[in-house]
A and B are shown apart, each in its own frame.
Chain A
Amino acid sequence: MTTALEVASAVRDPELPVLTLADLGVLRDVAEEDGRVVVTITPTYSGCPAIDEMGADLRRSLVGAGYPDVEVRLSLSPAWTTDWISEEGRSKLAAAGIAPPSRIGPTVAGPVPLNLVPPSRQVACPQCGSLNTSEISRFGSTACKALRRCHACAEPFEHVKEI
């Protein structure tokens, strides 16, 4: 029998289906308590509409794999960061034509610095690898993505924005 952790780790993200919930870093814990599987997940954004779908998919996969008693718990703290997307997840995103986020490091205490111009971080085009890209839209089709274009190959592409 596949372990509950293996089953939960293989469940895919509903909005970025190239990634598993484990790749995305939203799967925080899988534990067995008195025969019940307790899965803990964390939302990417406060208003992420996919969070309930993630819970339902986890429950369905685990029940299908022979774990009838499943509880999905939500964890808010520590808050999700794109730094939790695994190396494998970053490779999968790039292969699917979505630029992975850069690493931002831990949040610092105190006032959050203001950015009066869009950050000048370089984002490589997932199609041709050129660094000559620019932002088209700070928001994209889902809460976690922005839209960019490549000036070398002229392709538009999505970018998982750093938070």
Chain B
Amino acid sequence: MERKTAQRLRRIDAGRITNAVRNLFIKANTMLGNDVLGALSRARDREESPIGREVLAKILANADIARNSALPICQDTGLAVLFLEVGQDVRIVGGSLQDAVAEGVRRAYAEGFLRKSVCDPFTRVNTKDNTPAVIHCDIVPGDHLRIIAMPKGGGSENMSRARMLTPSAGLEGVMQFVLETVEKAGANACPPVIVGIGIGGSLEEACLLAKKALLRPVGAKNEDDERLAKMESDLYEKINALGIGPAGLGGRVTTLGVAALMKPCHIASLPVAVNLQCHVARHREETL
């Protein structure tokens, strides 16, 4: 019985995972996605502040240089964050999933000339190969392995926040918290930012939802929940009215997009997390 089940499993070699992870992190760090490029280009067209327009033009020129010369778009090539969807009919052979991913990260950061930005929290001694990665793993139906690589920079991550609101704070309270977070971040988070919002679940689930929200194509609206779609568009207007502008130097474009995800929560709670993403919004994926 057990043997029969085992035969139906699809075997994926750990080496393939390593290769995919390596290539995804190099690609993510040197080639900005078309959704971000499109959003930046529209932002440049609508920006009224001369210095803001100049900053956006430089951001777009930089993306071109990075793509053409295989240099990182930003020197902060990030913590290596990964979202893995592992089909339950997949069997990984030739090594463990964790080791395969770690090796892929090591090779990407060494061979791609990416900066190693991981250190011991107290001694601050660098681990020198950008590991350990941050791996979020979901077991899903199917026999595929989906790998999403998201190098996450420190500047915008440092300005991200989570709070356990009281249920009475409601949607209004959530919006206020998001607005306050972007306002406090100012130039630090490298605006124009992308705002990922996670609502509900537990403390850690809210944070995870906020990060997953950043994977949505920039500027795409919420298709699942009309309340969230409205909240996203209201926040987009309010954030862009803050005046922070590109690089914090003043202007109409402070955010390129707002994306929220929500799950039910405890009757006592209203968890909310805001994960800020700088304009170098990097993520690449491959399905094996």
Q: Do A and B bind each other?
A: no
Chain B residues within CB distance 8 Å of chain A: none
